[in-house]
Amino acid sequence: MALPQEGQAQTRIQRLAASFKAWRYGTVLGVFLVVVGALAWRLVDLHVVDQAFLSNQGDVRTIRVETIDAHRGMITDRHGESLAVSTPMMTIWANPGEMDAGDPRLSSVARLLGVNEARLRARLRQHEQREFIYIKRKVQPTLAREVVAVEVPGLYTRREYRRYYPAGEVTSHVVGFTNIDERGQEGLELSYNEWLSGEVGSKRVLKDNRGRVIKDLSLIRDAKPGQQIALSIDLRLQYLAYRELKAVVQAHNAHGGTLVMLDVATGEVLAMVNQDSYNPNDRQQMSPDGMRNKAITDLFEPGSTMKPVTVAAALESGKYTPSSTVDTSPGYRRFGRFTIRDTSNHRVLDLAGIIVKSSNVGISRIATELGGDAIRDLYYRMGLGQATGIGFPGEAVGVLPSPPRWRPVEEATLSYGYGLSVNALQLAQAYMVLANGGIRYPLSLLRQDEAPRGERVLSERVTAEVRKMLRSAVEDGTGKRAQLSFYSAGGKTGTVHLVGENGYEKSQYKAIFAGMAPIDHPRIVTVVAVDAPQGGEYYGGEVAAPVFARVMGDALRLLNVKPELEIGEAPLRRHAPKTGERG
């Protein structure tokens, strides 16, 4: 009876085992199907439902918008020679949040970049919450590649531009310079900053987890480079003028100097140099005093260089002719406690003689006859006492007195260049009017591709007569050292006391020469001024006139002006002015 019961038990066990296997299989299969279904749903969710969101999140983590720097416009001379260019450089920057200030590889980075390692690590710790700091700006691309090769996490590069000035200190006062962000700070770089500045562009790029650009994806806005400008400066003449001015300042141990050269027919500035100067490529050597363009920003009394203009006013009035004479005896004039003197008693002089001998007494007697308003009016028409319109930052306008009633001493001193102030460019403009037949052209530091419109301020007859007198002043008077070897020249010397804190300095002078060549058909006007020459020579005829001769002779040859004089006729020797004719 027991056997049947045991068989039944075994049968139940077998059935239970089979049922368990079926349940386990079903459970595993169900779990598998659920997992597969969940994965399938997730795939559908990722690729259909959340596709836009996830795509945007991926882009945020890998796609960046980067700026495209635009290079600044080039500055050239009138013949296309580069005076200021922008060259591509690399800037090293860091994300302190991604960096370890204790990373030993930073030692190599500091050494390559020439920065203090301890200071670099301290900056990274100090700004660890920031995402951007500069490490070193505008380094050579080859050096940047060496830094990147160190593979320091969080260290990146970007392209920028650096301004470079090929002519260095020779053109620095005219061109000026920019700051590290390529914004104009001085000179024409400042005046034309908007014109020269480019427009920054932007692009989308794909970056890896180290922030390195893998691929450029799309251009959002292209960068627009700045506009180019061509100056009126002739770099050949600029080098020539700079060399000669620097030489005379050194030779006389002078405090400084200025030279301006104008094209008579257009009013363009062909050369403009100063001493001291500075190299815009080496900012460590700059000083505020050396950065001034003294030809435009510094004022001085023009002295005897204004006597030809006063003579022009006399001829224009009709009260005088070239043959008119003036008695300068006894060689001085008294105005109360003030006395005007000549170096000697020249007695009776005609108008040419007054300029040749540089007679203060003679020109002051003419001024007394004409009146101060007549002289001032011509000064003003020739550009004194007003802005030149050249558009240069920091231009000094000068002082041209206009009292309601002229005192006799004021009329007298005005006639020979005291009691007013000008800059070198204004003085050159006045002589340009005498040189070109009486036309005052607007001055320009930019190349003029069209003939400018000028304003007539003097008759051709008057200017022609004055040029003859200026020729005599160079051949027989105070400007003998201004004679050229193969060209005729005309001009006038000036020697004025410098003004100090307590008035005129008794022993400090400014030596000036203003002139033109060739005298019959002038092509160039040049003004030379040397500040406080030391030693025995300090007169305009001794210091400034020889510079005029050297610069003008070479400049006319460079401009292919045909020589007027044959070799046998050329005055090859420079004559020292006679006693009493120093100007």
Is 514 within 8 Å of 494 (Cβ atoms)?
Answer: yes
Residue 304 has which token pair?
A: 């005897």
Angle at 227 between CA 221 and CA 229, to 5 degrees: 170
The two beta strands, 75-76 and 229-230, are parallel
Measured N-to-C along each axis, helices 141-149 and 106-113 cross at an angle, to the nearest 10 degrees, of: 170
Beta-strand ranges (E) seen in 154-200 are: 155-164, 177-178, 184-186
Tokens of 190: 């400042």
Q: Phi first, then psi: give them for residue 36, nearest 5 degrees.
A: -60, -40
Catalytic residue (one of 304, 359, 444, 488) = 304
Spatial contact of 516 and 546, defined as CB atoms under 8 Å apart? no
Question: What is the per-residue burial (b if ≥16 Cβ within 10 Å, else e) of 442-454?
Answer: bbbbbbbeeeeeb
> What b/e readout covers 125-153, taking b as 16+ CB neighbours within 10 angstroms?
eebeeeeeeebbebbeeebbeebbeeebe
Give the Cα separation of 547 and 33 in Å (integer).
102
Phi then psi for residue 23, to 5 deg, are -65, -45
Known catalytic residue at 304: yes
- Any residues with CB less than 8 A from the CB of 2 and at least 6 apart, and which? none
Question: Residue 509 phi/psi, 5° resolution?
Answer: -130, 160
Q: What H or E segment, with its residue span, contains residue 375?
A: helix 372-381
For 467-502, where are the E strands, in sequence order? 490-500
The contacts of residue 228 (CB under 8 Å, 6+ apart) are 73, 74, 75, 76
Helices (H), 86-179: 106-113, 117-126, 141-149, 172-175
Q: Which residues, 6 or more positions from 474, have their beta carbon under 8 angstroms from its beta carbon?
A: 480, 482, 483, 489, 490, 491, 515, 519
Q: Compute the distance between CA of residue 79 and CA of residue 439 in angstroms, rounded to an integer.
A: 26
Strands (E), 415-472: 439-440, 455-456
Which residues are known catalytic residues?
Answer: 304
